[in-house]
Amino acid sequence: MCYNIAVLLSGNGSNLKAIIDKGIKVSFVASNNPKALGLKIAKNENIPIYSCNNISDLEEEVLKLIIKYDVKLLVLAGYMKLLSKYFVKSLPLKFIVNIHPSLLPKYKGMNAIKQALEDCAQYTGVTIHYVDEGMDSGSIIKQEIIKINEIDTLETLKHRLQLIEHRLYSDTIKSILIRNLQN
């Protein structure tokens, strides 16, 4: 896949790993959390990394790196901060994608899996969406639904959802890149 993506993350980076394993070229990985495990994954793969816990400095650098590496798609993979309006407006429409562990518009924001369990929801799922200036509010690209079992705990449900995420995110990113390549 010759189109470059960049990944923004704050934590474990299991989605980053799944994306790399699918053969998608990652130009750089940036984080607001210098201790994010996802940065170590990137480093082990010889992918350039950048971290800074000052959000406006981080955003400024990411905008520069996007130009430097000719990035075609910015992928949020567990990035736990809301992007500034300035940052979002600086990039083309449909340039940033995110993955969220619920069937948006239900259970936006933090602790989406816990919210579903506490709500005694029968179903939940995974949503991949474009990022706009709001919180988990951009247009939906893809969703996959699962039934919440009575025996599900936060841990088991998170695990079941992550298995879906790892397949669905990389497949969807590939489809977007191929579609963009054809246009």
Report the interface residues with ligand GRF, using CB under 6 A: 9, 11-15, 38, 77-78, 99-101, 162, 165
Nearest distance, CB of residue 9 and ligand GRF, angstroms: 6
DSSP-derived pairing of the beta strands 26-31 and 5-9: parallel
Cα dist from 118 to 2, 94, 97, whole Å:
43, 33, 27
Nearest distance, CB of residue 99 and ligand GRF, angstroms: 4
Nearest distance, CB of residue 87 and ligand GRF, angstroms: 17
Q: Distance between CA atoms of 99 and 141, rounded to whole angstroms?
A: 10
Instruction: For residue 101, say if its preceding peptide bond is cis, omega within 30 degrees of 0.
Output: no
Q: Report the catalytic residues.
A: 100
29 or 99: CB nearest ligand GRF: 99
